[in-house]
Chain A
Amino acid sequence: MQANKVYLYPVWVRLWHLSNALLCLLLIFTGVSMQYASAESPFIRFDIAVSIHNLCGILLTVSYLAFIIGNLTTGNGKYYRQRIKGYFKEIMQQARYYSYGMFVGEPAPFKINEERKFNPIQKLTYILIMYVALPFIFITGWALLFPEFIVTRLFQFGGITLTSLLHAMLGFLVSLFLIIHVYFCTIGHTVGSNFKSMINGYHETHN
Chain B
Amino acid sequence: MIKRLITGKQLMITVFTGILLVFFSVFSVVSQEKANQLSEESLKCLECHGGAHYTLSDTASGDEVKLSMYRELRVDPLQLAGSTHGMFKCTDCHSSDYETTPHPVSVKFESKYACIDCHGGDEAYASFKFETIEEEYGKSVHAELLGDDFSCWSCHNPHYYKLSKDIPIVDRVAVDNEMCLQCHGNEIKFSDLTERELPILIDKHDWLPNQTLHFKKVRCIDCHAQQNDSIMVAHLIKPSSQAINDCVKCHSTNSILVSSLYKHEVAQQRNEAGFYNGIIMNQAYLISANRNYFLNIASIVVFGLTLLAIAVHAYFRTRKSTSNASK
Contact = CB atoms under 8 A, between A and B. Distances in A.
Contacts of B324: 105
Contacts of B287: 34-35, 37, 164
A161 B277 CA distance: 13
A42 B303 CA distance: 22
Contacts of A175: 303
In terms of DSSP, what is the predominant structure of the interface of chain A? Answer: helix
Given A37-B288, A105-B324, A161-B290, A46 B306 contact: no
B303 A176 contact: yes
A125 to B, nearest CB: 13
A132 interface: no
Contact of A153 (B26, B246, B299, B302): B26
B285 A153 contact: no
A158 B284 contact: yes
Given A158-B283, A180-B306, A38 B253 contact: yes
B283 A50 contact: no
Contacts of B248: 37-39, 42, 46
A156 B251 contact: no
A179 B282 contact: no
A175 B303 CA distance: 9
Contact of A158 (B246, B282, B299): B282
B109 interface: no
Contacts of B252: 37-39
B interface, size bucket:
35 or more
A104 B327 CA distance: 13
Interface in B283-299: 283-285, 287-288, 290-291, 299
B288 A158 contact: no
Contacts of A104: 320
B212 A179 contact: no
A50 B282 CA distance: 23
B13 interface: no
A75 B26 CA distance: 45
A102 interface: yes
B53 interface: no
A103 B302 contact: no
B210 to A, nearest CB: 6
Given A147-B210, A151-B24, A176-B302, A50 B307 contact: no
Given A164-B287, A179-B306, 14 more contacts: A35-B287, A46-B288, A98-B313, A147-B210, A147-B213, A154-B27, A158-B284, A160-B284, A160-B285, A164-B290, A172-B299, A179-B303, A179-B307, A183-B313
Interface of B: 23-24, 26-28, 207, 209-210, 212-213, 246-249, 251-254, 281-285, 287-288, 290-291, 299, 302-303, 306-307, 310, 313-314, 316-317, 319-320, 324
Q: Nearest 3 pairs between A and B by C-beta? A: A46-B247, A37-B288, A161-B285
27 contacts: A35-B288, A36-B288, A37-B251, A38-B248, A38-B254, A38-B288, A39-B246, A39-B254, A42-B248, A46-B247, A46-B251, A47-B209, A98-B313, A102-B317, A103-B319, A103-B320, A148-B213, A152-B26, A154-B26, A155-B27, A160-B285, A175-B303, A176-B306, A179-B303, A180-B310, A183-B314, A187-B317
